[in-house]
Structure 1
Amino acid sequence: MNVELNPKTKQFHPGKLIGGIVAVLVVAVLGTNAYASVEYGHVGLYKTFGKLNDNTLAPGIHFKIPFIQTVIQVNTQVTKSETDTSASSKDLQPVSTHVAVNYSVNKASVFHLMNNIGGNYDTVIISPAIQEIVKEVTAKYPAEDLITRRDVVSGEVSDQLKTRLAKYDLIVNDINIVNFKFSDAFNQSIEAKQVAQQQALKAENDLRRIEIEAKQKVAQAQAEAESLRLKKQEVTPELVQLKQIEVQEKALDKWNGVLPTVTGGATPFVDVQSLTQQNP
């Protein structure tokens, strides 16, 4: 029995099918590698055979030559760099400092930064600059001033760091000296000094209080003396006589007409005649 094949089946070639599949895969691969996306807060740079192009790419989708070009992204948002430094103060006290710097990349100069420094500018430029500047500034101040004038020290470090990093197209947005650490012996001496100052302040306040109280007593005594002087000026012979008469009148009102029988003592004298003359 002979089976006659379909003419269309006779024309089927597996090689063509494989070739078609390969072509589709190649197109898909080329398509997916023909564009790149730049994230928000970043800018992009074309890199062709290892060479950077100075054309800066904004956030979004950009076309590129597949397998020949790549797009590198550079973060332009504010970034924090934290560094620990060890230095000595002006009075040779060992000081450990923890510094946090907020910085950003100048968008207009991304090509120069990446072409001259590369993507590891944090460890190559920023951290060494912080350590060097903090050591230099710390050496200008005694250890106590580093504590009491912290804002001044931080401002000087910030000014120098801004000038240094501007050469590399890096912008210093803010700097914070998170902590100063000193030796235990120095911390104990500072604590003892503070206690002594507090005691001296208390003694000074006590002295002022005593002085004020003494002045108040003097003022009170002077006021009483002045009052007594004025009262003495008011006392006249007529006033004295009037007071004597008032006393005698009170004594006469209480007298029952009988003289005391007790002997050996003084008998009160009452001028009855003068009283009777004034009181007819």
Structure 2
Amino acid sequence: MSKYQSPKVNVNMGPMKAVLIAILLLIIIGVVASASVKIVDAGHRGVLLHWNAVDLTKPPLEEGIHFVIPFQDEVINIEVRTLKYASEARSASRDLQTVETTVTVNYHPDKEQVHNLYKNLGLDYENRVIQPAIEETVKQVTANYNAEELITKRPLVKQDIEFSIRERLNQFNVVTEVISITDFEFSALFASAIESKVEAEQNALRAENDLKRIEVEARQAEANAIGLANANIAEARGEAEAIAIINKALAENPNYLDWLKTQAWDGKLPLVVGEGGTPFIQIPVKP
């Protein structure tokens, strides 16, 4: 080697390779650990999948952290809290009146059957079963009533709709909590006719109540008149009996008149004197 030739430098690559391998191992461990740990959120249940197939042998996973086989298992979160769905259904009543019914359903998936729900319907079960169940039920129930009965028998209509919706959704592992019929809407012409009919019925009821009041007052007036007449008759009869008694006493005993005079005299000399010096007195009668 010439004295002017540059010497070769040997670089030891061992430590650098070790660092790279360590970093790679940490990355692999992190990925594996991440794939092994699954979290089920609060208010949810977890559906365990093995190679994308629902595992029906185990119950749904509870809230919290769960360890699964990495890259093989997956967990699908399904909310089991109270959910709300509102639907406006157009239908026809028995008398062929168009009715728009607004139904609100509070529901939640069956917590113990979410894996079956996911297997059969997936996550879009609301549009697949809840909406059709509400619309079909409303059409069937409203067809059993005429438009007026939908208003006057609202609790019975609500009961029929609620029972039918519950029965349908239970088949799909969906639990209904509260079902509300928030509104019945009819055509403007029919609504006006209903309002006029209700007003006429109220006026008829008011007139009937007035007639009953007048009849009661007439009977009261009649009873008062009969009572007053009976009182007058009794008073006249009493006066007639008193006069008859006095006449009989005078006929049987002429001195009875003198006795009455002495009973009525107050001991004072009279201002008016009758014939024979006898004070003139009045025979007391019943006032």
- 1:25 counterpart residue number: 27
In structure 2, the partner of 1:91 is 95
Q: Secondary structure at the match of 1:119?
A: coil
Instruction: For residue 83 of structure 1, report the CA deviation from its aligned partner.
Output: 1.1
**Which one-letter code corresponds to 2:160 in the other structure?**
E
Which residue does 1:261 correspond to in 2? none
1:166 Cα deviation after fit: 1.9
Alignment of structure 1 residues 135-150 onto 2, 5 Å: 135-150=139-154
Q: Secondary structure at the match of 1:33?
A: helix
The answer for the alignment partner of 1:114 in structure 2 is: 118
Q: Residue 107 of structure 1: SS of its match in structure 2?
A: coil
The answer to whether residue 146 in structure 2 is matched with residue 175 in structure 1 is no
Give me the whole-angstrom Cα distance separating, in 2, the residues matched to 1:143 and 1:274: 102
User: How many residues in Structure 1 have an aligned counterpart in Structure 2?
Assistant: 250
Once residues 240 and 38 of structure 1 are traced to their aligned partners in structure 2, the CA distance between those partners, rounded to angstroms, is 115
Aligned mate of 1:272, from 263, 274, 284: 274
Structure 1 residues 277 and 77: alpha-carbon distance in aligned structure 2, compared to 1, 3 A threshold: same
Return the offset for 1:123.
0.5
Tell me how far apart the structure 2 counterparts of residues 101 and 218 of structure 1 sit (CA, whole Å).
62
Task: Report whether the alignment pairs 1:200 with 2:200.
Answer: no
TM-score, with length taken from structure 1: 0.80
Residue matched to 1:234: 238
CA distance in 2, matches of 1:94, 1:10: 89
Structure 1 distance, partners of 2:67, 2:145, is 56
Gaps of 5+ in 2: 1-9, 248-256, 282-287
Task: Give the match for residue 43 of structure 2.
Answer: 41
Separation of aligned partners in 1, 2:148 and 2:103 = 18
Would the aligned equivalents of 2:274 and 2:280 in 1 still touch at CA under 8 Å? no
Q: Please, which moves more after superposition, 63-72 or 207-216?
A: 63-72
**Larger CA deviation: 130-139 vs 227-236:** 227-236
Measured in 1, the distance between the counterparts of 2:238 and 2:276 equals 25
CA contact (8 A) 2:39 2:63 kept: yes
Classify the secondary structure of the residue corresponding to 1:84. Answer: strand
Normalised by the length of structure 2, the TM-score is 0.78
Q: Which amino acid aligns with 1:61?
A: I
1:22-57 Cα deviation digits (max 9, x unpaired) = 222222222222201112322212223221112221
- State the identity as a percent: 33
2-structure distance, mates of 1:278, 1:197: 76
CA distance in 2, matches of 1:35, 1:222: 99
The Cα of 1:238 is off from its aligned counterpart by 6.2
SS at match of 1:221: helix
Aligned residue for 2:100, secondary structure, equals: strand
User: What pairs with 1:216-255 in structure 2 (closer than 5 Å)?
Assistant: 216-235=220-239, 236-237=242-243
Work out the CA distance in 2 between the residues paired with 1:275 and 1:113: 129
Q: What CA distance in whole angstroms lies between the structure 1 residues aligned with 2:210 and 2:233?
A: 34
Residue by residue, what CA displacement relative to the aligned partner does 1:105-148 show, whole Å, maximum 9, x if unpaired?
Answer: 22332222211111111100111011001100001011111112
Are 2:169 and 1:165 aligned? yes
Pairing 1:210–2:179 present: no
Q: How does 1:250-261 map to 2 (within 5 A)?
A: none
Q: Which residue is 1:14 aligned to?
A: 16
Q: CA RMSD in A?
A: 2.8
SS in 2 for 1:70: strand
Q: Return closer, same or farther for 1:238/1:132 CA change in 2, 3 Å cut-off.
A: same
Preserved contact between residue 80 and residue 108 of structure 2 (Cα < 8 Å)? yes
Q: Which moves more between the two structures, 188-197 or 103-112?
A: 103-112
